[in-house]
Amino acid sequence: MAGLAESGSNPDVDLLYDINGLAKDAPPWFDRIMEYVGEYGLLLAMVLLVLWCWWGVRRRGGEDAAPSVAALVWAPLAAGVAVLVNVPIRGFVERPRPFKDHQGLEVLVSGKNDFSFVSDHATITMALAVGLFVANRKFGLVGIGIALLEGFCRVYMGVHYPTDVVGGLALGTAVALLLSPVAMALLTPVTRAIERSPRVGWLISARGARGEALRRDGGVMPGARSEASGTAAASEERDLAA
């Protein structure tokens, strides 16, 4: 291929042409699917995976509910922080998109005129996945698989070099892991306070599990308080009648 000849001995460009070459050989309908999946679908899948994990944590309850929900809250926050960190990185590196420097690429998405390093999509999905891993390893491993697939799709679409993706995966992992202790120290007390709330405690755990948490912390469920008051009143009436 002409592109491979132009790339010389650069393995990054060689791998770009190899992966993007799959788009040239694929039928148009498959490329349209990959365009949607790589641009929107996998990001949506990550959001749904985080929500699914939250729903399971909420239903299960227990002592780990509040820390797990705190980790799930940290996941999107970590993605946002990682994207902000990427802003000066892109401005410093100033790497053009691959299709601007290399001919013969099959570009599936138009309008990408910003810098290429590092990939925002890879950064966001990996930060979400690592934050999810802190909350639940099983869901986190699925999320990491989605993040790797996202990176592949970005190269397949011709909008990123492989090293753009590797940089994004590394950045998302670093931000989510390195700042996780601080984030958990700040967010866990908040989620524990929400768990004890009679109005919004359902966001952390279901009613039965929340009652267990309240008893563990020395509190009483509103329903339990009413029931106890009714029992005490009935007992007092029987004493008076006697």
Amino acid 103: pLDDT: 86
Nearest to 67 by CA among 174, 208, 176, 204: 204
The pLDDT of residue 168: 96
Give the tens place of pLDDT for each residue, 167-194: 999 999 999 999 999 999 999 999 999 9
Q: Give this prediction's pTM.
A: 0.80
Mean pLDDT across 67-72: 93
> What's the confidence (pLDDT) of residue 36?
93
110-154 confidence digits (pLDDT tens)? 878 888 999 999 999 999 999 999 999 999 999 999 999 999 999
Rounded to the nearest 5°, which phi and psi values hold at 221?
Answer: -65, 145
219 three-class SS: coil
Q: What's the pLDDT score for residue 212?
A: 52
How far apart are alpha carbons 159 and 97 in whole angstroms?
6
- The CA radius of gyration of the chain, in Å to the nearest whole number, is 25
Kind plus residue range of the DSSP H or E element containing 39: none
